[in-house]
Amino acid sequence: VVVRRAGDVIPEVARAVHERRTGEHAEFNMPDTCPECGSDVERVAGEAVARCTGGLICPAQRKHSIRHFATRKAMDIEGLGDKLIDQLVERGLVHTVADLYRLTHEELASLERMGGKSAENLLKALEDSKKPPLDRLLYALGIREVGEVTAHSLAAHFNSMEALQDAGEEALLEVSDVGPIVASHVAAFFQQEENLEVIRALQAAGLEWQPLEDNTGQQPLAGETWVLTGALSMPRIQAKNLLESLGAKVTGSVSAKTSTLLAGEAAGSKLAKARKLDIKVLSESEFVDYLDSLGVQVP
């Protein structure tokens, strides 16, 4: 097949190259059932992706939900790698992300390639993750169509898990970055009892998610949309958090709505697109100087 870069971002299969076929290829048929759990495979009208309907009874989905929950941009649980997650699920020690916080030193130390010290370090990492900002927890829960930016918008708008749970689609549509599809997925997530049980179990395990800090009185970048690209000397997440604390929205792609592009070393297509759209571009040193002019010191 010929694959092109659609919109300068998304890989798209443009056409099949029939003349390159050898005759040894086999026709692909989408399976009717999930190869992991046997649940029906469903393709929703209007969507390209076929999905297993098994939810958390599917071991593959369970493992993926735990991996996502533990990532740096979510709960940032260091030491919870793929092979360890596989063992935890396959041995029946973890069924949902809430079960992570019930693990004991003895259970962890008994696992392959896990000794007493590794078990101790993981338990500490789990304990350290118990007071996440609300937006990171929302992202960690893996709600369909809810990425970092949308999770932040939801947390900033509702400011509590309870208010978000009670919100209907109409209320969700009042949030910036939330359209009908996202609103539908968020509302559906909080209508499923199994998801509410996980949230209650997280609370019972000692998690205390924190409302976002109110910086409305000191947000010189409110209303601006920034994009980061290239290699920065400061961690990318630090730059993102700093910009958001000043009121900016940080997105992953350049568009006509982008206010400023922060370009580090070896910036590529995003820089080219920003220049084409005549969007303001700042180097990292210019960014630091700009923050200094606003009275903001980079940590």
CA-CA distance, 36 to 52, in Å (whole number)? 9
**Are 134 and 210 in contact, with CB atoms under 8 Å apart?**
yes
CA-CA distance, 288 to 292, in Å (whole number)? 6
CA-CA distance, 241 to 245, in Å (whole number)? 6
Cβ atoms < 10 Å from Cβ of 258:
20
pLDDT the model gives residue 190: 95
Low-confidence ranges of the chain (pLDDT < 70): 7-9, 214-218, 299
pLDDT the model gives residue 299: 64
Report which of 249, 254, 256 is spatially closest to residue 267, judged by C-alpha positions: 254
What is the helix (H) or strand (E) element at residue 171, kind and residue range?
helix 169-172
134-204 matches 217-293 in fold: no
pLDDT digits (tens, 9 = 90+) for 93-112: 999 999 999 999 999 999 99
- Residue 282 bridge partners (DSSP): 262
pLDDT the model gives residue 181: 92
pLDDT the model gives residue 215: 55
pLDDT the model gives residue 27: 84
Would you identify the CATH topology of the domain 134-204? Answer: DNA polymerase; domain 1 (1.10.150)
In the CATH scheme, what is the code of domain 56-128? 1.10.150.20
Task: Look at domain 217-293 and name its CATH class.
Answer: alpha beta
What is the helix (H) or strand (E) element at residue 203, kind and residue range?
helix 193-204
What is the helix (H) or strand (E) element at residue 196, kind and residue range?
helix 193-204
Instruction: Please state the domain extents for the chain.
Output: 56-128, 134-204, 217-293
pLDDT the model gives residue 149: 82
